[in-house]
Amino acid sequence: MLDLIRKKQKSFIVKFVFWAIIAAFVGTIFLVWGKGRDANRENTKIAFTVNGTEVGFEEYQRTYGNLYRLYQNVYQDKFNPALEKQLNLRQKALDNLVEEELLLQEADRLGLDVPRTELVDSIAQVPAFQDGGVFSKDRYLQVLAYQRLTPDQFEAGQRRSLLAAKVRDRLEQDVSVEEGAVEEEYRRRNEKINLAFVKLVPALFEGKVPTSEADLAAYFAENQEKFRIPEKVSLRYLQFDPARFEGEVTFDEGELDKYYRRHLDLFEIPEQVKASHILVKVVKDAGEEMRAQKQAIAEDILKRVKAGKSFEELARKYSDDQSTAAKGGDLGFFTRGIMVGPFETAAFSLKPGEVSEVVETPFGFHIIRCDAYVEAGVKPLADVIEDVKSGLAKEKAVKLAFEKARDAYNINRKNGSLEAAATENNLGIKETGLFERNGSIDGIGRAPEISSAALDLQPGELAAPVRLDQGIFLFTVKERQPSRLPELAEVRAQVEQAYRGEKAVDLARQAAEDILAKLQKGEKLSILVKPLGLDVKETDFFSRTYGTFVPKIGSDPELATAAFELTGDNPVPGRVFKIQDRFVVIRLKERQEPDPSALDEAQRQQLNEFLLTQKKQDTIDEWIAEKRKTSEITISPVILSALKDAAKQ
């Protein structure tokens, strides 16, 4: 729903990218309305009902699909099943549809309507339907056709969007920002705190865990499955090394030319420049006066260069770049992306023999001379013919080796005879030791393609050839050991390590709790952690703008919230925080309050808009929550099952 998304301030990213995405995916408009509330709905299966109004399963699936594509475009390469689970998209789709239906039912109750002119105006404002900033009917029909939508379907959905927006406007019309809220928000955003903290790592306590044979035996009995020995196999295999077949391959001029054209990227010549420079170095924390002095020195050197003085001699005498000064400032050839931005821009803008003006970089002031320039291009075939022949020979040798292995497999797959395949190809049979799935294989290394196939092989069966970097492998199982539960003696070291690890977590937690309890009584943190050989560290000042991240500690929403609730009178929280595998004890060391006089009118207006938007959304959320309580909402078992499955993934 266009206006719904526009007002849904909970997701800034959705708001920010929405119009960019809509240009390519107009179907995204249907985030919370499928193809209409009327006869356009395809309710062959019911997803849920709201006060007797049915919403179809196809509409739910369409809404979920649109949300999926939206977030996929937002996060791009970072979008994966784990992130999808975190975003809880299936539940979002359901909530959006239920919320929209409740808003539309309220619109009916209030007697709201969308005049035809209002509907037309809203559609004309969609950028995806405009040509040169003006609505184009042809573009409109073209975009809808691409999305397999009819104008009636789209307009029905847009009408629903506008109706829901009108209900929102009604609910939000009396919302305002209370007096003093802007100042409080400014203070909340700009106050800073510095925490003293200590991290207790379980590994620190592993050596303090007492163990006995009885303890290990009991632990092993309770956790025997954790130490299960996985299924293992060993192999007999043939390795078809492509290098053996390079002498057998042939090719003609046409194949050489085709290989060259398919691999032009291998023969590219990057744009390069050969330059020399004179550096007048400026230390990182130099003041303006010092920088001006250094710049003046560089300008004086540049005048001498322009006057005809030897660049090399001036570089040897004045350059602060010790690595190039002795060579007359010679940097040699370099491509783009090697030097810092201003230096690169200047160097690549010069023609051979030209000298730059003084160029400032983080290192200081440079005078740059271009000595030579190589334009980007591709080496001609004649210059790289030997490389092309070598590459093509290797490529064809790999193909030939695979064909030989495939032939051996097809001929011997029924009898599973590796010996016959070895004889036919004049190869020796090699053997591996036992390995487990995804384990390293003797003589081959880690090869999941082989280990997975090997563990699925039946006795006497020959596996299909597998291509790896070191060649083509044809193999069969030599020995198979089934998965089994071990005796304690076989895995005693692993059992003791696991036992110590678990008990060390308990000891670390208890030590953290003890420190916290004493800290709350007024004892000093530095004294409490000294017996453990730990040092108290500080986060340095940070504000709420860091979100859930606490400097030098890590991300933890509960810790970040609790930290800003600490005061001078109550500087210690009521709990220990566990972040990853560490237990963290914190104490407020300092708090910096912001200067109220620094709140200018522009900030005041920005904060007021933020608070107003937030209050409006809170009002809508509260209204929806109350309506859900008093409405009869029935969700189909199919949807409930899908939500449950998504939570498990």
Confidence at residue 570, expressed as pLDDT on a 0 to 100 scale: 96
17 and 154 both lie in a single domain: yes
- The CA distances from residue 625 to 131, 621, 632, in Å, are 42, 6, 13
Please report, for the domain that includes residue 67, its CATH number. Answer: 1.10.4030.10
Give 44-89 pLDDT, tens digit per residue.
Answer: 489 999 999 999 888 888 888 888 888 888 888 888 888 888 889 9
Confidence at residue 381, expressed as pLDDT on a 0 to 100 scale: 94
Average pLDDT in the 517-528 region? Answer: 96
171 and 27 both lie in a single domain: yes
Tokens of 162: 């506008």
Confidence at residue 13, expressed as pLDDT on a 0 to 100 scale: 33
170 and 26 both lie in a single domain: yes
517 and 542 both lie in a single domain: yes
| Residue 31 belongs to some domain of the structure | yes
| Residue 183 belongs to some domain of the structure | no
- Of 158, 147, 120, 125, the residue nearest 33 (C-alpha): 158
Using 50, 70 and 90 to split pLDDT, how confident is the model at 649?
low
- The CA distances from residue 238 to 246, 404, 429, 478, 630, in Å, are 18, 11, 5, 13, 72
Average pLDDT in the 332-360 region? Answer: 95
- Please tell me whether the overall predicted TM-score, pTM, comes out greater than 0.85 for this model: no
Q: Return the half-sphere exposure (C-beta side, CA atoms, 13 A cut-off) of residue 54.
A: 13
pLDDT at 42 over 80: no
Tokens of 599: 């709140």
Please report, for the domain that includes residue 568, its CATH number. Answer: 3.10.50
108 and 149 both lie in a single domain: yes
Please report, for the domain that includes residue 275, its CATH number. Answer: 3.10.50.40
Quick check: 255 and 403 in contact, CB under 8 A? no
| Residue 24 belongs to some domain of the structure | yes
Average pLDDT in the 317-341 region? Answer: 94
35 and 166 both lie in a single domain: yes
| Residue 487 belongs to some domain of the structure | no
Residue at 450: amino acid letter:
I
| Residue 570 belongs to some domain of the structure | yes
Q: Domain residues for 166?
A: 2-176+631-648
Give 145-159 pLDDT, tens digit per residue.
Answer: 877 789 998 999 899
The DSSP result for 240-304, as a single string, is E-GGGGGGG----HHHHHHHHHHTGGGGEE--EEEEEEEEEE--TT--HHHHHHHHHHHHHHHHH
Give 123-177 pLDDT, tens digit per residue.
Answer: 999 988 998 889 999 999 988 887 778 999 899 989 999 999 999 999 999 999 9
* End-to-end CA, the chain: 29
| Residue 598 belongs to some domain of the structure | no
Give 362-373 pLDDT, tens digit per residue.
Answer: 999 999 999 999
pLDDT at 24 over 60: no
Confidence at residue 642, expressed as pLDDT on a 0 to 100 scale: 82
88 and 169 both lie in a single domain: yes
Chosen domain end from 449, 481, 513:
481
- Number of domains composing the chain: 4
Give 447-489 pLDDT, tens digit per residue.
Answer: 999 998 999 898 889 999 999 999 999 999 999 999 999 999 9
Using 50, 70 and 90 to split pLDDT, how confident is the model at 625?
very high
Tokens of 630: 């008093």
Strands (E), 57-165: 130-131, 134-135
Using 50, 70 and 90 to split pLDDT, how confident is the model at 23?
very low
Using 50, 70 and 90 to split pLDDT, how confident is the model at 30?
very low
CA dist 105 and 110 (Å) reads 9
Confidence at residue 116, expressed as pLDDT on a 0 to 100 scale: 95
| Residue 265 belongs to some domain of the structure | no
pLDDT at 329 over 90: yes
| Residue 614 belongs to some domain of the structure | no
Place of tokens 């036919």: 424
Tokens of 142: 């073209």
Residue at 284: amino acid letter:
K
